[in-house]
Amino acid sequence: MTDDGLVEVVVEEARDKMVKAVDHVRSEFSAVRTGRASPALVEHLTVDYYGTATPLRQIAGFTVPDAMLLVVAPYDKSSLTAIERAIQASDLGINPSNDGTVIRLAFPPLTEERRKELVKVVRHKAEEGRVAIRNLRRSTRHELEAFEKDGSISSDELERFEKEIEKVTQQQVTAVDQLLTHKEKELLEV
């Protein structure tokens, strides 16, 4: 592979990782409740299932009969209490109701105070995403500078690639900011 091809691979890899960082922020946001029931709120919870930490989505099915109710139906009825414990231990702030066959999660309307707390949580997650993107930019710059140092690329090429990385970084940070704005609006909506 030519040196230019190698540099292009490094730049493309950085772009892909930044896009994945934005996707991660998006998935983190989906786990923050907005007053409506959604399986995304609980499917990532880990349950102690026969001594193994197992994601809830692997051992139960979900239904949303109405906007404020989520029903968790375990495939194995003996796992009901373990699922119930995992939900109680989570930071959802919801008390599960177990009827022996399914677990019902009633989502009360969010209070103004809880909405503001959730906005803070979402802002923190967005900042983590922005930091991850900037860290990727920094590590890519170090790789590019190493290419320049060993003579693989010229300083003009280094500058061109750094500008490209900066442009991609700005695009991805803007994408995180747009996700944050949308999620804040969704959370503060009464």
Whether 39-106 and 3-31+112-188 are alike in CATH topology: the answer is no
Strand-pair category, 97-98 with 60-66: unpaired
pLDDT computed for residue 173 by the predictor: 95
Whether domain 3-31+112-188 has CATH 3.40.50.720: the reply is no
Return d(Cα 2, Cα 158) in angstroms, integer: 15
Let me know if 86 is exposed, middle or buried by CB neighbors in 10 A (0-12, 13-18, 19+). Answer: buried
Q: Is residue 96 classed as helix, strand or coil in its secondary structure?
A: coil
Return d(Cα 87, Cα 106) in angstroms, integer: 12
**Maximum average pLDDT range among 42-56, 125-139, 153-167:** 125-139
* Fold topology of 39-106: Gyrase A; domain 2 (3.30.1360)
How would residue 131 be classed by pLDDT, with cut points 50, 70 and 90?
A: very high
pTM across the whole model: 0.71
